[in-house]
Structure 1
Amino acid sequence: MESNSTKVAKIATKMAICDRHEEERLKKVYDEKGIKVTAVNVGGNINSSITKILESALVAAKRNGLIREEHLHEGALIGAARDAIIQIGNRASGLNVGGKIGIARGGEHISVCIFLNIGLLHLDEVVIGIGHRSLPI
C-alpha cells in the first residue's frame, strides 16, 4: 500500500519531467483529485542559482495556492526545496544546468522535485533531487 507522501512525491516528479503542454493537462487532472501542482523552469550555473531556485519554487507555490503566505508554510516549502538541491549539489557543482522544479501538495504533504540537465561539453548528464515536508492543512 502506497502512502500519501509517496503519491505526492511521484506527482511532483511527474510535474518536473513533463513538458509545458502536459503540465497544463496534469494541473487539471490533479485538481479534480484535490491535489495542487505547479512547475517552474530554472537554469544557470548551479552555484550562483541556488537562491534563485529557492525563490522560484516559493513564488510558484504561493502563486498557485499550494502554500499560504505564512512562516510555517514557506519554511516547509523552502526546506523541501533545499533537500532536493542538496541531493543534486555534488553532481552539478560549478556547472551550468537547465531544467524544471515540480511541486505537489496533497493534504498535509508537500514535495519538491528538481530535475536538471547538466551541460558538460558534449555530454549531457541528468540529475534529480526530491524533498518532502508535512505541514498543517
Structure 2
Amino acid sequence: MIEIREVEENELMDLFDIEQISFKNSYRISTLADLYGNPSYKFLGIFNRKRLAGYIILLDSIDVYEVIKIAVSPNYRGRGLGKKLLSFVLGDLDKNLMLEVRVSNGTAINLYESLGFEKINIRKGYYGDTGEDGIVYLFTK
C-alpha cells in the first residue's frame, strides 16, 4: 500500500540513507536535521508498506516553492513512485514550483516535462563536482 505523508523526525535516518545513495554530494544528517527543524522546509515521503521509498524536500520561498531534493530509493525505482510523489505535490500547490536538474539526468527531465514543467533557464557550470550545467524548470499553478 502506497502512502504519501510528512516525514517524521524519527524517519530522518531512513531519508538520509536514500540521500547518500542518490546524490554524489549528499547532505550530512546534521544538515537534514537543521532543514527539518526550519518551518520554511517541508519533508514529504512516499511510503510502501510503511517503509520510506522516496522523499521530496520543499522550500517555501515566499512567492514560489522550490524543490530542494527529490529521490527514490534504488529498491523502488522504475515503479512510478517519483511521479506519484511529485504529482501529489503539484495537486496541492497554492503557488508556482521551481526546481533545478543536471542536464545529464534524462530520467528526471522526462518526468518533469511530462508533468508540465517548463524550462526557464540554464545555469552554466552550476555543478561544482563536474562543471555540468543545471536546467531550471518552473511549474505554473
Give the structure-2-normalised TM-score: 0.31
Larger RCO (CA within 8 A; separation ≥ 6): 1
Q: Output the TM-score relative to the length of structure 1.
A: 0.32
Greater helix fraction, Structure 1 or Structure 2: 1
